[in-house]
Chain A
Amino acid sequence: MTMPKLSMTKDSRETLLYGILGIIAFLFVWQLACMYTNFGKIFPTPLVSIRAFFLAFVQPIGRYTLLSHIAISLRRVLVGYALSSVAGVIIGLLMGYSKMAYAIIYPIFCIIRPIPGIAWIPLAILWIGIGESTIYFIIFMGGFSQMVMNTMDGAQNLDTELVGVAKVLGAQENQIFSKIVLPSTIPYIFTGLQTSLSTSWMAVLAAEMITAREGAGWLILAGMQTGRIENNVIGMISIGAVGLVLASLLRNLERRLCRWSVRSR
């Protein structure tokens, strides 16, 4: 064909069109609900909300503007998430690779694992007090077990034939770890990173609602407490948007690092 290639195919244009229609329909139903039901007594209309959303970029809510609130939450998440990911990968690899480490850690881990991150809030406050460290701790506990589980799963699913292949080719024990165990676990680690990221993001909101005076979690609670529901809506929109951006950034990184794995292609 001599025609220049369009950047979108017919299918993807249709998908986009339907997506936009869906959003318009959603906003329309929201508007109708505000106009004709009780919902409108407590809840702002879409137009008011969107206006408030853009205003929040320049007008502070509480002590900060919207972007600062988001930045604060983001920093908290990233610190807690980074700590839990590093610790989770190390412990997961250890448990997956060494039978002894597994025997020692697994029973304790089994008890800790089902406890949601937010269940640690009261203990953390008593123990560490109110402050950033408490929030980091809660986020850490939120993501940690998922990182451990996924990494351990990866290390346990190691293809032992490949270990043999590497040994026949002359690899030493320490090289087996860095050249076989670690790379073959990476897709599992990424699955852990994905799920742990969303629970970390949940954990920061919960922690902020209880122990902070700033951040996206505080924003939605303050919106309720002060009767400024638009602030609540703004907070929720930003939470959704940030969560989406974080998840897609991570997916891109995975696609780059795991080009070889069929899952990411």
Chain B
Amino acid sequence: MVREKSINQETPMVRLENLSKTFHVDEGDVRVLDSINLDIKKNEFLVLFGAGQCGKTTLLKMIAGLESSKSGSISIEGKPLKGFDPKVGMVYQTTALFPWLTVMGNVEFGPKVRGVSKAERRKKAQYYIDLVGLNGFENHFPSMLSGGMCQRVGIARAYCNDPQIILMDEPFGHLDAQTRYMMEEEVEKIWAKEKRTVIFVTNNIEEALYLADRIIILSECPASIQKEYTIDLQRPRNMVSSEFLRLREEISTLVELREGV
């Protein structure tokens, strides 16, 4: 295939080879990931889509360095991943902001622990705070912000650390539908402006279709790659265009079929 060839020509940003993961619990072993093989291109917006509770978050955590990968390998720009890679940033489902730090404190945390000078990191943090639309909230604590605003802080915090790869773990799962829709638009705008490789986990089909360059459909426990869709629709996507609806129908049928089994 032509597409296969073009991927092989450049080193993928992230390469997952035969990646598996089993958790050992008292009741026995639970296999959550089953031989995942996946290449992710530079600046690609990749969505991992799966309805189940299994494996997706673990996969992101492994790329972030939060979970070990004993079976299979992860490499970033051709180099095997060891521990925490500064090229990787993450946005969490629970927002996971530091409650004792202000918006500014949260956003500048990465550069600060890496020893970037105060003037420089403040400037940068301010840029990303403005980018996510939180200008004026720099000195607010997370407990004073709404869920959507907290997640904006989470996004700015990830970006401010200059990662090449941003992992987003169901970042809008806890938001109401209206806010969620706004945040999806926001994420796309930010990504268009500040291109990064994004790996985005969701169980919402519309969200996946709205954001993705490519959607990887994962099967339920253990998660393995079931199908892959390259989405060539023009951005920003029209959620009621016939093509969008057709893909939505197709993917939901696929997922429902599987759940029916």
Contacts and interface: CB of A to CB of B under 8 A. Distances in A.
Given A167-B65, A170-B110, A260 B96 contact: no
B100 A161 contact: no
6 contacts: A165-B90, A165-B98, A169-B157, A172-B113, A175-B113, A180-B98
A260 B110 contact: no
Nearest to B112: A179
- Residue among B89, B94, B99 with max Cβ neighbours from chain A (10 Å): B99
Interface of B: 64-66, 84, 86, 88-90, 92, 94, 96, 98-102, 109-110, 113-114, 141-143, 157, 161
Contact of A168 (B89, B99, B101, B142): B89
Say which size band chain A's interface belongs to. 20 to 34
A164 interface: yes
B143 A170 contact: no
A74 B98 CA distance: 37
Contact of B142 (A165, A167, A260): A260
Contact of A162 (B65, B96, B113, B161): B96
A121 to B, nearest CB: 40
B108 to A, nearest CB: 10
Given A170-B86, A170-B113, A171-B109, 10 more contacts: A168-B65, A168-B88, A169-B89, A169-B109, A169-B161, A183-B98, A184-B100, A259-B141, A260-B100, A260-B143
B107 to A, nearest CB: 10
- Residue among A162, A170, A265 with max Cβ neighbours from chain B (10 Å): A170
Given A167-B65, A169-B109, A161 B99 contact: no
Contact of B99 (A167, A169, A170, A260): A260
A92 to B, nearest CB: 18
Given A167-B66, A168-B65, A170-B84, A183 B89 contact: no
A3 B11 CA distance: 71
A169 B92 CA distance: 12
A189 interface: no
B129 to A, nearest CB: 16
Interface string A42-69: 0000000000000000000000000000
Nearest to B113: A171
Contacts of B89: 168-169
A166 B90 contact: no
Interface string A225-265: 00000000000000000000000000000000011111001
Given A260-B99, A260-B101, A260-B141, A168 B109 contact: no
A256 B38 CA distance: 50
Contacts of A183: 98, 100-101
A169 B64 CA distance: 10
A162 B99 CA distance: 10
A69 B36 CA distance: 76
Contact of A169 (B100, B110, B142): B110
A183 to B, nearest CB: 4
A172 B100 CA distance: 19
A186 interface: yes
A184 B101 CA distance: 10
Contacts of A265: 143
A164 B66 CA distance: 7
B64 A168 contact: yes
B84 A168 contact: yes
- Residue among B84, B86, B89, B102 with max Cβ neighbours from chain A (10 Å): B84
A179 B114 CA distance: 13
Contacts of A161: 92, 94, 96
A170 B90 contact: no
A179 B101 CA distance: 10
